[in-house]
């Protein structure tokens, strides 16, 4: 691993890559970052409370490549509003001037739950569809060999929501046990290297992030205005009003409220 001074002295002969850790609190996000760096670069949560509240990053060398790993706030942090979480999460761009090579979305093996589905949805809305093409799922606490993992993840009995996201994610998946130390590091580093090579230098850019967040903000403002207008119309006594925010999702003002 490199300290800040050493990293700043690297010449242009090194290939530079950036990885962003994404996930919910408690699934091993920071531990995966430590595995990649080969040391305790990131503080690990010992319980339900997230230790990662602000942007953190660490740098290391692997062969002729310089790698930056950025740890982010858990996307289901219950101490903050969803807007606050996404605002803090999006600060990863401050440490990635050249763009992002890979987003590692970390999930504890055997428990793909609604919170993971919601976190992936929030990630996609905040960063845009192009971010998913640079995303790889990392199943932590997983001691399965590659063949067994592939078979179980792709089995028809696997959670439908997981299969849905795997169809949209471009980087596939890998399973690791962070307690395996060097073996886990070699496994996930090899997967990263293959994925980056397949992208042929194309990165997710900060401009793509800014564009996605602007679209998300516009959609939220339009929904808020539509809801306010519907409530105002209902208060004028013009009859039942419904708003279709998304296909199949109907919002109606309450009917038992005194005018």
Quote the percentage of the chain above a pLDDT of 70: 82
Q: Which three-class secondary structure state does DSSP give residue 142?
A: coil
Largest Cα–Cα separation, the chain: 71
Residue with tokens 């009003």: 241
Phi, psi at 146, each rounded to 5°: -60, -45
**pLDDT band for position 232 (50/70/90)?**
confident
Pairwise CA distance, residues 244 & 248, whole Å: 7
pLDDT band at 235 (very low <50, low <70, confident <90, very high): confident
Q: For residue range 107-127, what is the model confidence (pLDDT) as tens digits?
A: 999 889 999 999 999 999 999
Q: Is the model's pLDDT at 251 over the cut of 60?
A: no
| Token duo for residue 48 | 């339900």
Residues with Cβ within 8 Å of 129's Cβ and at least 6 positions away in sequence, in order, are: 168
At 6, the pLDDT band (50, 70, 90 cuts) reads low
Phi and psi at 68, nearest 5°, equal -110, 130
Residue 10: band (very low, low, confident or very high) from pLDDT cuts 50, 70, 90:
low
> Tokens 């999460």 belong to which residue?
89
Question: If 0-12 CB within 10 Å is exposed, 13-18 middle and 19+ buried, where does residue 44 land?
Answer: middle
CB 132 within 8 A of CB 168: yes
Tell me, what's the pLDDT at 71?
94
Q: Answer whether 1's CB lies under 8 Å from 58's CB.
A: yes
Where does the pLDDT of residue 259 fall: very low under 50, low under 70, confident under 90, or very high at 90 and above? very low
Of the two residues 124 and 239, the one the predictor is more confident about is 124
Q: How confident is the model at residue 25 (pLDDT cuts 50, 70, 90)?
A: confident
| Residue 55: predicted pLDDT | 82
Q: Which helix (H) or strand (E) holds 66?
A: strand 65-71
CATH superfamily of 4-204: P-loop containing nucleotide triphosphate hydrolases (3.40.50.300)
| Strand, helix or coil for residue 107 | strand
Structure token pair of residue 162 = 């997981």
Does pLDDT of 207 surpass 60? yes
- Residue 245 has what pLDDT? 57
pLDDT, position 134:
96
Q: How confident is the model at residue 257 (pLDDT cuts 50, 70, 90)?
A: very low
Residue 50 has pLDDT above 50, yes or no: yes
The pLDDT of residue 219: 84
CB 32 within 8 A of CB 176: yes
Residue-level pLDDT at 258: 47
What are the domain boundaries of the chain?
4-204, 211-251
Residues 27 and 107: beta-carbon distance below 8 Å: yes
In tens, the pLDDT along 165-182 reads 999 999 999 999 999 989
CA-based torsion, 15, 72, 133, 158: positive or negative: positive
The three-state secondary structure class of 121 is: helix
């Amino acid at each position: 691993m490199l300290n800040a001074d050493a990293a700043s002295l690297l010449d242009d002969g090194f290939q530079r890559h950036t990885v962003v850790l994404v996930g919910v609190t408690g699934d091993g996000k920071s531990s995966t970052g430590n595995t990649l760096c080969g040391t305790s670069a990131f503080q690990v949560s010992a319980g339900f409370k997230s230790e990662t509240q602000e942007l953190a990053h660490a740098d290391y060398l692997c062969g002729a490549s310089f790698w930056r790993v950025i740890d982010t706030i858990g996307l289901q942090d219950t101490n903050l509003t969803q807007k606050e979480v996404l605002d803090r999460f999006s600060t990863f761009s401050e440490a990635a001037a050249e763009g992002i090579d890979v987003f590692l979305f970390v999930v504890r093996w055997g428990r793909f739950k609604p919170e993971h589905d919601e976190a992936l949805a929030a990630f996609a809305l905040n960063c845009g569809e192009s971010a998913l093409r640079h995303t790889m799922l990392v199943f932590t606490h997983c001691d399965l060999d590659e063949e067994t993992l592939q078979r179980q993840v792709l089995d028809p009995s696997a959670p439908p929501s997981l299969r849905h996201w795997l169809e949209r994610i471009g980087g596939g998946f890998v399973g690791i046990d962070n307690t395996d130390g060097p073996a886990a590091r070699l496994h996930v580093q090899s997967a990263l290297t293959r994925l980056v090579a397949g992208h042929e230098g194309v990165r997710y850019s900060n401009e793509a992030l800014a564009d996605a967040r602007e679209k998300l903000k516009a959609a939220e403002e339009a929904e808020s205005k539509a809801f306010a207008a519907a409530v105002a119309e209902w208060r004028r006594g013009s009859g039942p009003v419904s708003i279709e925010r998304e296909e199949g999702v109907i919002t109606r003002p309450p009917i038992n409220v005194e005018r």
